[in-house]
Amino acid sequence: MSNLSNIDAALLPAIDETSLLAPPHKIHAPRILMLYGSLRPRSFSRLSAEEAGRILTHLGAEVRFFNPSGLPLVDDNTDATHPKVAELRALVAWSEGMVWSSPERHGAMTGLMKTQVDWIPLSDGAVRPTQGKTLAVMQVSGGSQSFNAVNQMRILGRWMRLITIPNQSSIPRAFQEFDEAGRMRPSPLYDRIVDVMEKLFKFTLLTRDRADYLVDRYSERKETAAELMKRVNQSAAT
Q: Residues, the chain, total?
A: 238
Give 24's DSSP letter.
Answer: P
Query: Which pLDDT does position 236 carry in this prediction?
Result: 53
Coil, strand or helix: which one is 50?
Answer: helix
**Residue 224 confidence (pLDDT):** 80
Please tell me the predicted confidence (pLDDT) of residue 1: 54
CB-facing half-sphere around the CA of 16: CA atoms within 13 A: 13
Q: How many CA atoms lie within 13 A of 236 on its CB side?
A: 6
Q: How far apart are the C-alpha atoms of 80 and 174, rounded to whole Å?
A: 34
At 192-226, the pLDDT tens digits run 999 999 999 999 999 999 998 888 889 888 888 77
Residues in the chain predicted with pLDDT less than 50, given as ranges, are 238
Tell me the C-alpha distance between 3 and 35, whole Å.
48
Cα angle: 147, vertex 151, 154; to 5 degrees? 145
Q: What residues have CB less than 8 Å from 54, skipping those under 6 apart? A: none
The whole-angstrom separation of Cα 195 and Cα 200 is 9
What is the reported pTM? 0.90
**Residue 231 confidence (pLDDT):** 65
Contact 159, 118 (CB under 8 A): no
Q: At what angle do helices 148-159 and 111-118 cross, to 10 degrees?
A: 10
Q: What does the pLDDT read at residue 225?
A: 76
What confidence score (pLDDT) does residue 122 get? Answer: 85
Q: What is the pLDDT of residue 136?
A: 98
Q: Residue 75's pLDDT is what?
A: 87
CB 113 within 8 A of CB 153: yes
| Residue 19 exposed, middle or buried by CB count within 10 Å (0-12, 13-18, 19+) | middle
- Give the pLDDT score at 2: 64
